[in-house]
Amino acid sequence: MEPLQIGLPSDGLAIRDVRRDASGVPDRALFRLTKDGLVAETWVYAHEGHGFDGLTTFFQMMNQDWRGWSGERTWSALESDLRLTARHDGHIRLGVVLVDSINWSVQADLTLAPGEELSAAAEGLADLMA
């Protein structure tokens, strides 16, 4: 399956590989964050038995409320190797923290357009993790 790109290839978050357990549930995926010349990637592990359902729901809820919401919405992977914070100010401001164990961590803010761009990300993520 093709990688899923959220945002631009030069300024976004990509899911490049999804590995599944024996029952077909996603158990880890390779995430790549690209921002202003920085490229960082690491394996992110899913919640045991639930795959990346929480991540999929996080994007579906943003897509459902594409016209806006107040405050921040957050999602974190099992061991906090990927953390997302979303705010809406006419655009989706997505804060991304990617951590590779104890070796390094990176943080970047991405901007997504509500509507078609956000919808494509939510639908693509749901398809990728199905």
| Tens of pLDDT, residues 33-45 | 999 999 999 999 9
Task: Say if CB 129 and CB 26 are below 8 A apart.
Answer: yes
Determine the average pLDDT of the residues in 116-130: 95
Whether residue 48 is predicted with pLDDT greater than 80 in this model: the reply is no
Please tell me the predicted confidence (pLDDT) of residue 51: 85
Residue 82 has which token pair? 């990927």
Domain residue extents for the chain: 4-129
- Domain made up of 4-129: CATH architecture: Roll (2.30)
Whether residue 2 is predicted with pLDDT greater than 80 in this model: the reply is no
Task: Say if CB 116 and CB 63 are below 8 A apart.
Answer: no
Average pLDDT score over the chain: 94
